[in-house]
Amino acid sequence: MTPPVTPPIYQNFIHGRYLANQSGERFDVINPATDDVIYQVEVADHAIQKAAIESAKAGFEIWSAMTAIERSRILLKAVELLRARNDELARIEVLDTGKPWQEAECVDVQTGADVIEYFAGLAPAQVGQQQMVGDDFYYTRKEPLGICAGIGAWNYPLQIACWKAGPALAAGNVLLFKPSEETPLGALKLAEIFIEAGVPEGVFNVVQGAAEVGQWLTAHPDIEKVSFTGEVGTGKKVMASAANTLKDVTMELGGKSPLLVFDDANVTEAVSAAMLGNFYTQGEVCTNCTRVFVQRGVYDKFIEELKTRTEQNIVAGDPLDPNVNLGALISKVHQQLVLDYINLGIKEGAKLLTGGEALSPASAPNGYFVAPTVFVDCQDDMTIVKEEIFGPVMSILVFDEEAEVIKRANNTHLGLAAGVFTQDIQRAHRVIHKLQAGICWINAYGNSPAEMPVGGYKHSGIGRENGIETLDHYTQTKSVYVGMNNIDSPF
Ligand code: NAD
């Protein structure tokens, strides 16, 4: 009989090293494709929290005093290490999230590294302004905020950590990062890489735990900003808590994004976009186009191709198998939530075109899989059309007129993303300009390069990640007035 294998235990990463907590409290991390506990993580207790803040303060002294070129050089070294360790890191992401290797291998680490590289390049180019006002003048300095907090979701754990660390560190801040308790390892590996690259101790600390640790961060008086990625409901709580100490916030929240397919669209391309925007990362992508509006003239053709390709081209199974393109959902609880939504869709009168059930693939029989699911005959007021499901569930809606579909697409309190497929260049821009969403695609879906700002309208978010403007969200402007004459005083 083989003895039971004790899962490894990871500690919090504070001031350049792993630090044991005092409470002894830990949580399990489960591989969603196998249902096995793969490791345990120590919760950031009071001792860790205290050490994290002291370390961050010390780190800020050193990091913010460096020139931007020095910081940039160190961050670029970290980028090199991230790329060199792509496969090791991608494997961690697959085991933690259940997503397919074929995605993680070319997306998760790469897009994280890209963003750090982008902001490392921008950091030395940040300039203030100077202006004469008579003989006097003023100038402005872009100064870092200080200690920032990052709180991450579980769908792109390492990428989210990089997307927050990149601009924060480039601008001279330090970051206390709390990954999702479902996927805590990637951020620890990033912390190791930063230290190896030469980032000073305390500049990137990782604290582990669930909501309580997040709440501690959002309430802490020494933290100047919170950048949050997660659900709308949690985002509201984070913002409310941050308001007590007037923290700056960036909110990257959920969506229920529309894809508009007009009669003149290239149908094959539009089907590709709809499938990517609903089944990539088994549907756990915030920008997903879960409301697909198809114009009546092209409806039958679209549905036929969508059904055929969904039934023939999707391979669910062990996510480490490079041929698998549909992984497991993050947890058993989430799998059930997605299945509950599917049952509700059926109950409310939508018709299943394909899918609709849990899957138990031979290569990963205990995983939390849900079949790629497409509903037709959907109505705008159905629950599955209104609420974010965060699984592989697509709702198809029919439309006739341009004005009608714009109105229906905008009829939601969410506004993260939107897409339009048409060959008519004027219509493409006219329609996209009217859609209330922060991230829009024309004849494309899902691409998110480091250069492009991303973030939501309405309840989908506040502020932006990536793109030049994000660096400003991690700095504050100091104006310095310089008097060149004697003071003209009545006293
Ligand atoms: P979640 O809101 O449940 O959790 C996100 C993080 O917040 C976790 O680290 C969690 O521990 C922490 N948290 C929970 N309660 C907290 C509290 N009261 N105070 C502080 N922190 C708290 O989200 P999730 O389930 O991990 O992620 C899925 C959601 O994230 C989806 O809604 C998805 O759309 C969204 N998302 C958005 C983007 C984007 O860029 N807009 C990207 C990825 C995911």
Query: pLDDT tens across 22-57, in order?
Result: 999 999 999 999 999 999 999 999 999 999 999 999
The predicted pLDDT at position 135 comes to 96
The predicted pLDDT at position 362 comes to 98
Record the pTM: 0.97
The predicted pLDDT at position 6 comes to 87
Q: Stretch 79-98: mean pLDDT, rounded? A: 98
E-assigned strands of 273-392?
291-295, 351-354, 358-359, 369-370, 373-376
Q: Stretch 421-428: mean pLDDT, rounded? A: 98
pLDDT exceeds cutoff 80 at 309: yes
The predicted pLDDT at position 5 comes to 75
The predicted pLDDT at position 416 comes to 98
pLDDT more than 70, % of the chain:
99
**pLDDT band (50, 70, 90) for residue 166:** very high
What distance in Å separates the CA atoms of residue 490 and residue 233, rounded to the nearest whole number?
A: 55
pLDDT exceeds cutoff 90 at 395: yes
Residue identifier of the C-alpha nearest atom 16 of ligand 1: 211
**pLDDT band (50, 70, 90) for residue 2:** low
> What totals of helices (H) and strands (E) does the chain contain, helices first?
16, 25
What distance in Å separates the CA atoms of residue 203 and residue 15, rounded to the nearest whole number?
A: 8
Q: Stretch 378-396: mean pLDDT, rounded? A: 98
Q: How far, in Å, is the centroid of ligand 1 from the Cα of 159?
A: 14
The predicted pLDDT at position 3 comes to 63
Q: Which residues line ligand 1 (CB under 6 A)?
A: 151-155, 178, 180-181, 210-211, 214-215, 218, 229-231, 234, 237-238, 252-255, 286, 388, 390, 416, 456, 461
- For 357-376, how does the pLDDT look when each residue is reduced to its tens digit (9 = 90+)? 999 999 999 999 999 999 99
- Which one, of 389, 434, 441, lies nearest residue 256 by Cα? 389
pLDDT exceeds cutoff 80 at 429: yes
- For 109-137, how does the pLDDT look when each residue is reduced to its tens digit (9 = 90+)? 999 999 999 999 999 999 999 999 999 99
- For 457-490, how does the pLDDT look when each residue is reduced to its tens digit (9 = 90+)? 999 999 999 999 999 999 999 999 999 999 989 9
Helix (H) or strand (E) segment spanning residue 439: strand 439-442
Amino acid, single-letter form, for residue 51: A
Q: How far, in Å, is the centroid of ligand 1 from the Cα of 314?
A: 28
Q: Which atom of ligand 1 is nearest to the CA of 241?
A: 19
pLDDT exceeds cutoff 70 at 4: no
- For 174-214, how does the pLDDT look when each residue is reduced to its tens digit (9 = 90+)? 999 999 999 999 999 999 999 999 999 999 999 999 999 99
Q: Quick check: is 284 catalytic?
A: no
3-state secondary structure 95-145: HHHCCCHHHHCCCHHHHHHHHHHHHHHHHHHCCCCEEEECCEEEEEEEEEC
